[in-house]
Structure 1
Amino acid sequence: MNENLQAVATGRCLSVLDLAQELIRLPSRGGIDDYGPVLGVLEGWLTSQGLSHRRLHDDTGALVGLVVEVVGGRPGPWWALDACMDTAPFGDERAWSFPPTAGDVVDGWLRGRGAADSKLAAAMFCHIAADLQARAADLHGGLAVLLDVDEHTGGFGGARAYLADPQAARPAGVMIGYPGLEDLVVGGRGLWRAVVSVHAPSGHSGSSRTAVGAISRAAHLVRLLEAAELPGGGGDGNQGFPLPPKLSVIAFHGGQGFSVTPDLCELNIDVRTTPAFDADDAETLVRKTVAELDAELPAPRPTGINPVASWPPFRLDTHEQPAAALLNAAVAEGLTVRAKTAGPSNIGNLLAGKGIPATAGFGLAYGGLHGIDERARLAELPQVYAVYHRAVLDLLQAL
């Protein structure tokens, strides 16, 4: 394919920017704002371009996303581009140097919540879909653009609804438009999470009775968990996976006021998993450690463990699709992009659990992600646009 896609992208960038600015000016914080207005803007634009699209709802009927579809004229696999339309909260708005919904451009940076994650990517992907619509008859399979509005909640309802939608073709792979110019995320650690309930007799804090309270028992459990041995990182001992597993106690809840020794303390446990230390290994380790606590410091009720989430780790080789298409397209557009396995989990883990390969984390350079003064640098927008455009074309033209 010898097309000058960067020239095409340059011609589209002003329209991409206009759409992204309109989206940023409409707050769509995950779990806080109404998503109807921001999706309505996209629906109006998609309708103007003659692009087929429909809203996605979860089992309760809640709006969780929008899917755009370009149907190729020849048989072949479907591929998907994915960008979230909900955002992180604003946080302390007084700490921002500009309004979180500014949507303006200053010194080459698009500013506002969602500029980096991921309204600019959503605008870009919609334009790429419009570009492909004009040549759909010659394409194999099809392209779906998923615009998720249940991502920052951690529910990933848009992705789940898309995969469960009987009208949607199952994608052969997904490219997620998270930001970051230097890396293409081709993998990520998985996770296993649980709420651990530590019990003890309650009583008055001034009582002369000596008893180990729930908070003290829970603190001892934290020490035991932090001392637990996990496999080392990298090498054959971790099946070649470049990151080690990690266990964190991320919440500690118990007690109220000053006069009562509580009978319950709850811990939130987050374990990041790898192929050599999976969810079963994580649960086994936590249960073994809890049994050690109950043996050392007995209580009237055994410590409870309530698993709440589990995703597998994933990692694509650089020759696997869609990673290969994006990496090759980056080279063709003059960018040096490294394949990276990320520590945090992402939608790629959810997709991996469904047997669907995914990439993430290639996009524009950014600042303030999930923090104050979120922004995205526009200088490389033509190149990034051309990379995704080229990658999708390569996949849809392959026999």
Structure 2
Amino acid sequence: MSADDPTDRTTRLLVRRDSIGETRLDEVVRGVGDLEPGQIRLAVDRFAITANNITYAVFGDALGYWDFFPVPDGDGWGQVPAMGWATVTESRAPDIALGRRFYGWYPMASDVVFTPTATRDGFRDDGAHRSAHAPVYRSYVATDADPMHPGVDADGVGSSDGEDRHSLLRGLFLTGFLAEEFFADGAGSGVTYFGAERVVVLSASSKTAIGFAQRAAVRGGVEVVGVTSDRNREFVEGLGFYDLVVGYDAIGEIPTPGGAVSIDMAGDAEALAAVHRRFGDDLAHSMTVGRSHHDARPAGDLEMEGPEPQLFFAPSEVGRRQDEWGREEYARRCAEALADFVDASSDWLRVEHRVGPEAARTGWADVHAGDVTPDVGIVATMASVDTSR
């Protein structure tokens, strides 16, 4: 590489769209300073790899997740979005300064180029391929304007652990938070939990489920029943957020008096059908959120007794709550609830770093295979040295 013709490389983790357990590392040679007017380049400092990212890949075509960071020359390969932090390294956008750091959705890659429009707390990606996505998916929050930023660690050396935990928990918790608020006012009807006395949570060890259960436990007034695998049962019981924990083979033993609502993070048709059989018409609402059991038969493949399962789309709920509460009050409630949850996560969640492209690739493989226990969260960086810490 000569000084007269400087180049650099973008390293990205690609996932085969029709077989998401297959991955490959890809390098794209690019020129330094090749940005178009109005564009910025950010170095992706860290990103989380969780079962939720697997869900993005499973629903990538149906919900447009593959379109977040398209791979025009991918020939069946795509980039899966991940939550994390990135720093501006090049800017041809006058309102976005070099060195600023932002939280939001990034590709699992070393860097990314955006076409930003400055906002009150950061920027919105207005690239042509992003225009169809909900605003919440295109919004990036600057650390110096972020009411939810975790701040510095107790030792004062930085915000590394807090940002790790936000990468892992923030997006998932806010989905759980919004789902619990949806049930709390009966989708705007004012009937708490649609009049049911309990909520059945499938895939109770998933981070979204834990966030939901924590909020339901704080609210009180409803029995929170967690359904999980035998290997995760002790962990789920130890969280203290569930009033009752059962295995998937014991769904038929959940008490029925007073009826129930359900929230499904597993996406397993057999498990959800068992809940519907158990309660029938006494199941007041059936919410589907994720698909942590990505190899299981999809829930849509079986006819269900009782109500038809309804997909919960968090961005729509964000808009409803901002309209109802106001944007500032919405932000305050989210920040307060998130801080409580993240602070308490040190009791049950250990952060594990995967540093370097191959380590990030094995991180995806481990999560996809279900080899990561629920008390571990994987945070990856494509850099060979973890410069975010």
Normalising by structure 1, we get a TM-score of 0.20
Max Rg structure: 1
Normalising by structure 2, we get a TM-score of 0.20
